[in-house]
């Protein structure tokens, strides 16, 4: 039986996350790098668009073609070079700028990147129609997707170093038992 997942933010009003907006503004102004935007996106709720696709139509009693069946689909962006990208938006307003009939589905930044990697796409494009478009690709995409991988399976951390060139992995395990540097006892 199909279940509808609970929203990440039940009282979400569709506004953009303030930290993401600030990071994207700094990036656009040239005072922050793309890497500076990632921490905000890794913690943010994004909106993934879903659109209806007509799968079957019929001629109605009034003589006009009408919808008989449709499916919901996750649209992808295809670049001039043929690479595909998953779309995500910071707010319902940004989503409407792209396509007013799309319906938003809440997802965390790492979830979106994980889904993009699972779909075999090269990137995630955030706010493609504005206000500030931002592309997550390459090592940035792999790093954010890996956050979701580790949430689902902590052993995925072992493969992260292979997935993201130049990354350093540090595991913090149980603390070693404390040694006493002095002996308690009576002085002679």
Please report, for the chain, the start and end positions of each structural domain, with discontinuous segments joined by +: 18-54+68-163
What span, in angstroms and rounded, lies between the C-alpha atoms of 51 and 64? 23
**Position 156 pLDDT exceeds 70:** yes
What span, in angstroms and rounded, lies between the C-alpha atoms of 69 and 55? 6
Q: In the β-sheet with 65-73, what is the strand arrangement from edge to edge?
A: 65-73, 45-59, 103-108
Dihedral angle over CA of 113, 118, 119, 121, nearest 10: 50
Return the residue matching tokens 């990137």: 123
Q: Residue 148 has which token pair?
A: 């979701």
Q: Between 149 and 55, name the one with better pLDDT.
A: 149
Q: Residue 173 has which token pair?
A: 């395990």
What span, in angstroms and rounded, lies between the C-alpha atoms of 134 and 21? 11
For residue 1, what pLDDT is reported? 44
For residue 75, what pLDDT is reported? 87
What span, in angstroms and rounded, lies between the C-alpha atoms of 119 and 41? 20
Mean pLDDT of 22-29: 97
């Amino acid at each position: 039986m199909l279940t509808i997942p609970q929203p990440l933010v039940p009282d979400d009003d569709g506004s953009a996350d303030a930290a993401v907006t600030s990071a994207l503004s700094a990036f656009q102004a040239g005072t922050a790098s793309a890497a500076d935007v990632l921490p905000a996106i890794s913690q943010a709720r994004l909106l993934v668009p879903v659109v209806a696709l007509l799968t079957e139509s019929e001629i109605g009693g009034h003589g006009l073609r009408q919808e008989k069946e449709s499916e919901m689909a996750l649209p992808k962006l295809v670049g001039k070079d043929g690479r595909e990208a998953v779309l995500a938006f910071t707010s319902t307003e940004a989503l409407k700028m792209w396509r007013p009939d799309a319906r938003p589905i809440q997802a965390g930044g790492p979830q979106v990147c994980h889904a993009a990697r699972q779909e075999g796409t090269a990137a995630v494009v955030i706010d493609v129609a504005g206000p500030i478009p931002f592309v997550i690709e390459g090592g940035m995409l792999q790093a954010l997707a890996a956050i979701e991988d580790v949430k689902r399976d902590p052993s995925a951390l072992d493969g992260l170093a292979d997935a993201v060139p130049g990354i350093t992995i540090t595991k913090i395990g149980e603390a070693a038992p404390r040694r006493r540097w002095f002996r308690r006892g009576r002085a002679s």
